[in-house]
Amino acid sequence: PVLVVDFGAQYAQLIARRVREASVYSEIVPHTITAAEVAAKNPVGIVLSGGPSSVYEEGAPALDEGILELGLPTLGICYGFQVMARQLGGEVAHTGLREYGATAATVTDGSGNALLDGQPGAQTVWMSHGDSVARAPEGFEVLASTASTPVAAFANDEKGFYGVQWHPEVKHSEFGQQVIENFLHKAAGIPAEWNSGNVIAEQVARIREQVGSARVISALSGGVDSAVSTALVHEAVGDQLTAVFVDHGLLRQGEREQVQNDYVAATGVRLVTIDAVDIFLDALAGVSDPEEKRKIIGREFIRAFEQAERDLIAEAAADGQPIKFLVQGTLYPDVVESGGGTGTANIKSHHNVGGLPEDLQFELVEPLRTLFKDEVRQIGRDLGLPEAIVGRQPFPGPGLGIRIVGEVTRERLDLLRQADAIAREELTAAGLDREIWQCPVVLLADVRSVGVQGDGRTYGHPIVLRPVSSEDAMTADWTRLPYDVLAKISNRITNEVPEVNRVVLDVTSKPPGTIEWE
Ligand code: XMP
């Protein structure tokens, strides 16, 4: 792999993704990693990420000096660039000239160094720094500068050391991806060989080795991660796998059919559907508190899954092949953010897909543990899964249950399902699916307002549209949808959905509002 050393900002994941977009496998490691640990991973190159500190401050994250003596091609970015400069004998200073955001850079490289090869002399780069490299280390050639940063990029071909002060991993740096690709392919000579086909082959071999002839179960939620992890395991072990799908009655229109028909047709997976609609709706009767609803849905989900599990265990025991494994769709960001087993701080413990119980007696099979979401989608496509599943926007585990403000009833779910289907249909027809992160459609079941329809007065419920744009759901902004699309959705919902006589638009960012209403 190429190791991306994380100096504590949010950039390491982005860098790791960009390296993979260049068809080179990458892994994120903490900056506390030792030279021996690096060597043990057998890397083909190293990228030092940006970070929030000043290199000369006491306690600033440092790099084991031995790492730069391993003879590995290394690219330093922003803080990583400064760490490199300082450790190799250059000078980093607080110049008082800060640069933030889009900045004009001049490529001064006269000798056509590989790092900025093929790039124009004047370009826009994305900067975010207070300190600067005042003097490049001995043996380094300066490749670029800006108005306030004389050393904005450098290279030492002999040692395979390269660095840029700007952030090539962000899209605002005009030729950013090319800097990363030049480093990997031209400067470090790393071939572009990593792709989803290899990942599938490698994971299939790994799953077969882990599982042997035992049986495996998997919980399908209809979401991307569980759909792809299940399909991968099925590819590896065929009918040793049984997938369980719980219909809790809080699904959107067509979702059950999508899993039962389209997904099964595409994969050939052995599927057990648990129809738990009555159980869930009975348990939710009379409850309108959001947290209580979430708890009930989580609890009933585990119950339904455990029941299915008992039945399958009994069946498996009868033919002598016990169930030993459970598939989980854990992704790489979850692994990195939970410390990744490398001793970094536990920022956020990942929650189980579908809220499965933690004390299950199974060993986990997690074939997506090294992958980012967009890679998971690509693998799903390669495995032939329907686009409606692999391209799906996020949808919360508790489903429509937390999109009805008020008590959840069968009638209300039907109304919301219709309104939601109309909104989704129109957004798709307008080609807006890629622009929005997701668009919750919420029924304010306890609110009524007066309207007029035909010749009569109506007294119905409002539907809220909550279109949001986001990178990661941690923060979000409301999406400025075209008025004609909003008008069409509003017209159709008020005409086609009984008891809904008003459609309103949520124009709140997150924070302060969360994406979901409950
Ligand atoms: P909030 O409402 O917290 O939502 O801004 C952030 C993202 O998480 C989704 N979400 C959930 N996903 N189980 C899930 O699997 C849940 O209980 C849950 N609650 C919210 C939400 O749709 C958004 O994408």
Determine the atom of ligand 1 nearest the C-alpha atom of 476. 5
pLDDT at residue 345, rounded to an integer: 38
15-24, 338-347, 418-427, 453-462, range with the lowest pLDDT: 338-347
Residue 141 pLDDT level (bands cut at 50, 70, 90)? very high
Distance CA 474, CA 488 (A): 30
43-47, 181-185, 359-363, range with the lowest pLDDT: 359-363
Domains 2-187 and 196-390 belong to one CATH topology:
yes
- For ligand 1, the distance from its centroid to the CA atom of residue 512, given in whole angstroms, is 15
What are φ and ψ of residue 483, in 5° steps?
-55, -35
219-228, 354-363, 377-386, 397-406, range with the lowest pLDDT: 354-363
264-303 burial code (b ≥16 CB/10 A, e <16): bebbebebebbebbebbbebbeebeeeeebbebbbebbbb
CB-CB contact of 2 with 21 (8 Å): no
State the binding site for ATP: 221-227
pLDDT at residue 343, rounded to an integer: 37
- For ligand 1, the distance from its centroid to the CA atom of residue 473, given in whole angstroms, is 8
pLDDT at residue 339, rounded to an integer: 64
Determine the atom of ligand 1 nearest the C-alpha atom of 353. 15
394 lines ligand 1 (CB under 6 A): yes
The yes-or-no verdict on residue 222 having pLDDT over 90 is no
Q: What angle do CA 342, 351, 241 make, to 5 degrees?
A: 95
Check whether the bond before 482 is cis (ω within 30° of 0). Answer: no
- pLDDT, greater one: 338 or 17: 17
pLDDT at residue 466, rounded to an integer: 98
pLDDT at residue 347, rounded to an integer: 37
- Judged by phi (left if over 0) then psi (alpha if -120 to 50, else beta), residue 101 lies in left
Centre a 10 Å sphere on the Cβ of residue 90 and count the other Cβ atoms it contains: 20
Mean pLDDT in residue range 228-246: 97
pLDDT at residue 317, rounded to an integer: 81
* Ligand 1 atom 24 nearest Cα: 394
What are φ and ψ of residue 436, in 5° steps?
-105, 145
What are φ and ψ of residue 410, in 5° steps?
-55, -45
pTM to 2 decimal places: 0.87
The yes-or-no verdict on residue 348 having pLDDT over 60 is no
Ordered by start, the domain boundaries in the chain are 2-187, 196-390, 408-505
What Rg value do the Cα atoms of the chain yield, rounded? 27
Residue whose entry in the numeric block shows the structure tokens 């043990």: 40
What is the second-level CATH architecture of the domain 196-390? 3-Layer(aba) Sandwich (3.40)
Say whether the ipTM exceeds 0.95: yes
* 78 given a catalytic annotation: yes
Token duo for residue 148: 């306030």
CB-CB contact of 481 with 467 (8 Å): yes
Q: What CATH number belongs to 408-505?
A: 3.30.300.10
Distance CA 420, CA 432 (A): 15
Mean of the per-residue pLDDT values of the chain: 92
pLDDT at residue 90, rounded to an integer: 96
Q: Does domain 2-187 have CATH number 1.10.760.10?
A: no
495-515 burial code (b ≥16 CB/10 A, e <16): eebeebbbbeebeeebeeeeb
- For ligand 1, the distance from its centroid to the CA atom of residue 515, given in whole angstroms, is 7
Segment 36-59, tens digit of pLDDT = 999 999 999 999 999 888 888 888
The yes-or-no verdict on residue 478 having pLDDT over 70 is yes
Residue type, 259: V
CB-CB contact of 124 with 159 (8 Å): no
The yes-or-no verdict on residue 85 having pLDDT over 60 is yes
The yes-or-no verdict on residue 200 having pLDDT over 70 is yes
